[in-house]
A and B are shown apart, each in its own frame.
Chain A
Amino acid sequence: MRSQEARVWRGPFTWSVALHLLLGLSLLLSLERDQPIDAGTEEAPGPVIQATAVDAREVDAAHEALAERERRREEAAREAQREAERRAREEEQARQAAEAQREQEAREAERQRQQALERQRAEEERRQQEAEEQRRREEEEARRRAEEEEARRQAEAEERRRQEELERQRAEEERRQREAEEAMQQAAEEEERQRQAAARARQQASLEAQYKSEVRAHVERNWIRPSNVPEDLACDVVAHVIPGGEVVDVRIGRCNAPDSVARTIETAVRRASPMPPQPEGMDPKREIHFTFRGESR
């Protein structure tokens, strides 16, 4: 139902539109001529409308009527135009100057900004470089220190080995020397020992003889000799003596005496405790073997 109504009203409406358009177009055309669009600017003021030719014949009449007026108006317009253009040019020049000025300032700001950025960037880069440098230096330092430490350790170990080797050589040298000295000393000592052994044996024999005679006299003083001792008496007695001369054990061994005589013999040895002190320097005697004999009376 809506489309039907549209068709009814399409004709007059079209006309009206066309007319208006035409008017508008003419206006525009005049404006166009007076105000060339500076294509060189990037920011053109206002929109640019492209008129479309409609019906030439309808236009001719209007056009003629109008032409005269147009011409005048054109003249005025041109004059105005020139004035405007002049002013525009001045304005434009001022504007362009301002624009140039602005651009110049903007460029300058941009340049400064860029410079600041560049500086910042350079600064950043510098810092990074410095940090990197610092890190690198530190790493280098650590590595250097580690290397130094390693080197020191190796040096020390080397020194130690060297010292040990020196010590070993010294010890070896000492040992050889000592062995040589010892061999010599041993030979000397052996000789001395033999000499001393001989002297000692003589001394021992002398001390023993002295002790023996003391022991003999001491035991004989303690033997109450019975009258019935057999003439061929031979009675062995072993006495154990401890330091200090005390007799700790007495045993009768082979003995041809009657029991009562053997008992006096054992008693004599026991009664002789303590035995005389052993001479200083004599090898200590722990056993004394007595043989009681009946030969002398």
Chain B
Amino acid sequence: MVSLMKGWVGGIVLFASVLAASVQADVLRVDITSGVDTAEPVAVTSFVWRGDGEPPEDIAAIISANLKRSGRYRPLDPGDMPEQPSMDRTPDFSAWRQAGADNLVVGEVRGDNGRYDVRFRLFDVHRGEQLLGYSVPARGDRMRRAAHQVSDMIFERLSGEPGAFNTRLAYVQAERRNGRERFHLVVADSDGHDPRRIMSSSLPIMSPAWSPDAERLAYVSFENRRSEIFVQNVRSGERRSVSSRDGINGAPAFSPNGRYLAMALTTGEGGPDIHVLDLERDEFRRVTRSRAIDTEPAWFPDGNRLAFTSDRGGAPQIYSTRLDGSDVRRLTFDGNYNASPSISADGRYMSMIHRGERPGFRIAVQDLERRGLRVLGEGDNDESPSFAPNGTMIIYAARKGFRGTLAAVSTDGRVRQELATETDTIRDPAWSPRLDAVDRDAMN
């Protein structure tokens, strides 16, 4: 309330001064309507280790990589940093401005008996003021997660949007060993680190999808020599089969409230149609009715509409419909192939696999409000885009020959990066919702 008042009074004063200045000759008026489309320079200085032995993780490196991957920020090269500031001292802002940084992260890690404390401050270099100051406690085995959480806090403070670094990725890893293929369902950190297999099979696994609480994964498994949809608890490994009809059981997607699971099911009338399963009542509802192939449903954030891929127009395009199957609209018009929709959490953007005039399938993003479509990918066989929960990044599988790698692109297309460079083929990545944040203490 006080700050509101202050702002109000300040506004009046400024307004008055603007009025007074409007007749002064020494005032110039300039309208600014455009800017540059580039990443904001930020300096993440090395986190000083205050403990015995080796520090468990390079926190600054994790944060820098995260910020860089977002496309929004361009971390300074450590060689260009003018100083190593400490937590207890005001940085030399002028030197950091000279070095070209807009913002500056200073931090330290305190360690004692396997318990750690990640402390950091975020400064606006131009205004010379602290924007953030926190102490995040963490166990030794969760230091990366603490670093991701710090990254989120920094990202949120700078961009005004929630971060998506303290999240996970699920993907399918296809392993060829001794002439036999082996498939794993893998869950990793958002930066691809710390992959853990939660299910393995000698038969294909496809299309993992996160529940909104990030506790469960739905996926298609052929372990029983037919397609079958399972919902598995990520932590406990406990799972159940929710659909194992004859024909196709594919492309599961949790509704935003986690109660429903949309999927593509064969009905015996041509290609598969979109259905919605009520997970509580175990009831199916058919959504689309067409002889064409309707698949890859994706929920809009309000939970009332679904986007899906259909070749009902001849070539695969993306459509949307209400849950009762009414009001079907075609969403994509650019290119001769648009598939695998993923809707950003704010409902504004839709990512897809797109093929236009140039041959090859690439990641593209369509602005659903303005109808503009932008191709982000540079590969020629991208698959399975999935929005980060904050909409700033898209994870996808980039196939090169018969290999596929995990790649991420910022929604603005500025930054593309491969996350895992394993020799195995990676497919069908899915980005989890935000994980619960650990406790943290504000510092002044």
Contacts and interface: CB of A to CB of B under 8 A. Distances in A.
B194 interface: no
A220 interface: yes
Given A260-B158, A270-B127, A287 B28 contact: yes
B15 interface: yes
A284 B26 contact: yes
Interface in B389-411: 411
Interface in B81-137: 97, 102, 124, 126-127
B17 interface: yes
B124 A225 contact: no
B24 interface: yes
Contacts of A215: 28, 30
B53 to A, nearest CB: 39
12 contacts: A216-B32, A219-B30, A219-B32, A226-B72, A238-B14, A271-B97, A286-B26, A287-B21, A287-B24, A287-B26, A289-B30, A290-B32
A212 B30 contact: yes
A251 interface: yes
A224 interface: yes
Given A270-B126, A271-B102, A284-B26, A291 B31 contact: yes
A69 B305 CA distance: 229
Contacts of B35: 220, 223-225, 264, 268
B268 interface: no
Q: Do most interface residues of chain A lie in helix, strand or loop, or is the interface mixed?
A: mixed
Contacts of A216: 30-32
Contacts of A295: 33
B161 interface: yes
Interface residues of A, number: 47
A258 interface: yes
Interface residues of B, number: 37
A290 B31 contact: yes
A195 B30 CA distance: 29
A87 interface: no
A231 to B, nearest CB: 10
Contacts of A236: 14, 18
B24 A263 contact: no
A287 B24 CA distance: 9
Interface stretch (B36-44, B201-209, B315-323): B36-44
B11 interface: yes
A238 B21 CA distance: 10
A238 B39 CA distance: 25
Given A253-B11, A266-B127, A271-B102, A224 B40 contact: yes
A285 interface: yes
Contact of B34 (A211, A225, A252, A290): A225
B21 A228 contact: no
A287 B257 CA distance: 53
A208 interface: yes
A261 B160 contact: yes
A293 B33 contact: yes
A283 interface: yes
Given A238-B18, A253-B18, A254-B15, A228 B160 contact: yes
| Nearest 6 pairs of A and B residues by beta carbon | A260-B160, A225-B35, A223-B35, A270-B126, A253-B14, A285-B28
